[in-house]
A and B are shown apart, each in its own frame.
Chain A
Amino acid sequence: MRKIFSIARYTFIGNFRNRIFLVLVLFGLMLLGASVLLGLLSQEQELRMLTDLGLAAIETLSFLTAIFLMGNLVLEEMESKTIYLILTRSVSRGEYLLGRFLGTMVSVLSCYVIMTAAHLALLLAKGWSPEKEGFLYFLSVFMSFEKIVLISALSLLFSLFSSSGVVSLVFTIFFWVLGHFSMELKFLAGEIHKGYLKAVFKFVYYIVPHFQYMNARDLWVTVADKMTFYLVEGSVYTAVYSAFSLVLALLIFRKKEF
C-alpha cells in the first residue's frame, strides 16, 4: 500500500509541476468566465444557463485533462525509460499501475475542485440559492466526476494496447461520444432486422460505457425526486466498469516488456 501511495504522490507532483496541466486548469477557468457572457444572452434564464454551461465546461475540461494525462501515463515513462528505475525495484506491475492511476485521478480531481469552486463562486455572485438547488448541484458535480473516473480507466486501458498516444486518444474520444449515445445504440439495435448489423449494434451497446447512468446534469429538472436512486446506480456502474477496465489494463501491462 505504501508503494502505491508513493507512486501516486510522485505522479501527482509530476503532473502539478507540468506546465501543460496548469494551462488546462487555466483554460477551464477561462471557459467558466466565458459562460458568464453566454449566460447574459439568455436574460431570464441566466442562472440556469450559467449553471448548465459551467457544469458542461467543467466536465469537458476535466475529460480532456484526464485523457491527455492518462493516455500518456505509461507510454511517456516507457519512452523516457524512467519506468526502468521503478520496475527494477520490488514494485509489482499492479502497484505501479494503480499508483499511477490514483495519482492522476487525484490530479484531475484537484483540477475539478478548483473549477467547481470557481463556478460556485460565480453562481453565488449571481444570486444562486444553494438551499434550493444545492443538493442537485453537488450530485451533478459528483456524478460527472464519476464519468471522468470511468473514462480515465478506459483511457489507461487503451493506452496500454496501442503503442501510440494518439491512437489511444482517438479510441477514448470515440468511446466517450458513443457512451453518451448508448440508449440510441440500443434503440437502433432494436430497429434493425438484419442479423449481423443488429449483432454489431448490440455488441457496441454492451461494451461502451453507459454515461446516461451518470448524467444527473441532464436529468436535474425531470427526475429530481429519483436522484438518490441514480446516484447509487451510477456509482455502482462506475465502480464495476472502472475496475473491469483496470483489471484488463493490468493483464496487458503484466505482459509488457521494456
Chain B
Amino acid sequence: MAEESLLRISNLTKIYRKSHLGRVHETTGVKDLSLEIFHGEIFGLLGLNGAGKTTTLKLILGLLFPTEGEVRLFGKKLPDSSAIRQVGFLPETPYFPKHFTVKEMLEFYGLLSGVPEKEIANKAQDVLKTVNMFQNQGKRIKECSKGMLQRLSLAQALIHDPRLLVLDEPITGLDPLGLAEMREMILRLNREGKTILFSSHIISEVEKIAGRVGILSGGKLIRVIPSQDWRDKTGALENMFVETVKSAGGVEI
C-alpha cells in the first residue's frame, strides 16, 4: 500500500522583494522546492543559517505567500482553514503576550484552533500535564523562565491535537537536559501517531530523531536522505551534509 502523503510541496519558490527609492531588491528565500512528507514520519529540514528552512515552514503555515508553486496539506491546496486546523506550530522562539497567565494563553489558542468551549479547560490541563507545566498554570507569562516558555510553546502546538507538527528549530538554545527532554517528547509524539516536520542545523540531534532529512542550501532542496543511510554509522550524516552543501556551493570551508 502506498504511503499516505500529508504534505506535498510542488515547485515552491519564494522571492522577497524590497523596494527602496524606486529600486527593487530581490532575494531568493526558496527556489523550486518540491517535497513530500508522509503520514507518521519525522522529517528534518537541515541547513545552514539562511538556507531557507524558516521560509519553507512559513510558506507551509501561510505566514508567507509563494511567488510560484503550491503547497497541499492533507490533499487541500493552501490556504485552507480546515487543513491548517490539523497543524500545530512551534516557533523558534516562544512569542507570548506578557500580560496573560499560562492557562489563559493556552485556552485562548485552544479556542482559536476549534477546541469546543466546554472541553477547553480539561484539554488545557491535560496538555499542561504533558509538558510538565501543570503546577505553573496560574503564572503570568512575564514571570515564566525560558524553559517554561519553551514548554508552553509546545503546549500551544498540541492543544488541538494536530496531526502534523511543524517545529522551527525546536532544539536550538536548549541546555543538555532540555535537549534530552525535547528529543524524548518529539519521539513520544511521533509514537502517538503525529507526523513531525522540523528544521534544525544541529546535525548530532537531527540524526537521533529524524526518519528522513532534507538538506537545504541557498534556498534549494539539494538532497533527501533516509535514516538507513546514516544509522549506526558514526558521523555519516555530518559528512553527507558537509559534502552536499560544499558541492552545492553553499559554504566555503
A residues neighboring B (CB under 8 Å): 2-3, 6-7, 10, 13-14, 17-18, 80-82, 84-92, 257-258
Contact A257 B99 (CB under 8 A): no
Tell which of B63, B91, B100, B108 touches A257, judged by Cβ atoms closer than 8 Å: B63
Interface pair B84/A257, CB less than 8 Å apart: no
Q: Which of A6, A18, A92 has the most CB of B within 10 A?
A: A6
B81–A92 touching, CB < 8 Å? yes
CB distance A81 to B95 under 8 Å? yes
B112 touches A7 (CB 8 A): yes
A7 to B84 CA separation, bound complex (whole angstroms): 18
Flag if A89 contacts B85 (CB, 8 Å). Answer: yes
Let me know if A87 and B63 touch, CB within 8 A: yes
Interface contacts beyond A3-B111, A90-B113: sample of 17 additional A-B pairs, CB < 8 Å, sorted by A: A6-B112, A14-B99, A17-B100, A80-B97, A81-B93, A82-B95, A82-B96, A84-B89, A84-B91, A85-B89, A87-B63, A89-B85, A89-B112, A90-B85, A90-B112, A91-B112, A257-B63
Residue numbers of B with Cβ under 8 A of A are 58, 61-65, 81-82, 84-85, 87, 89, 91, 93, 95-97, 99-100, 104, 108-109, 111-114, 117, 156, 160
Given contacts A10-B108, A257-B64, contact A85 B99 (CB under 8 A): no
CB distance A18 to B63 under 8 Å?
Answer: no
Tell me how many residue pairs across A and B have CB atoms closer than 8 Å: 70
Interface centre among B65, B85, B97, B99 (most CB of A within 10 A): B97
- Bound-complex Cα distance A88 to B95 (A): 13
* CB <8 Å contact, A84 and B99: no
- Residue contact A85 to B95, C-beta cutoff 8 Å: yes
Known contacts A6-B112, A81-B93, A81-B95; A88/B100 CB under 8 A: no
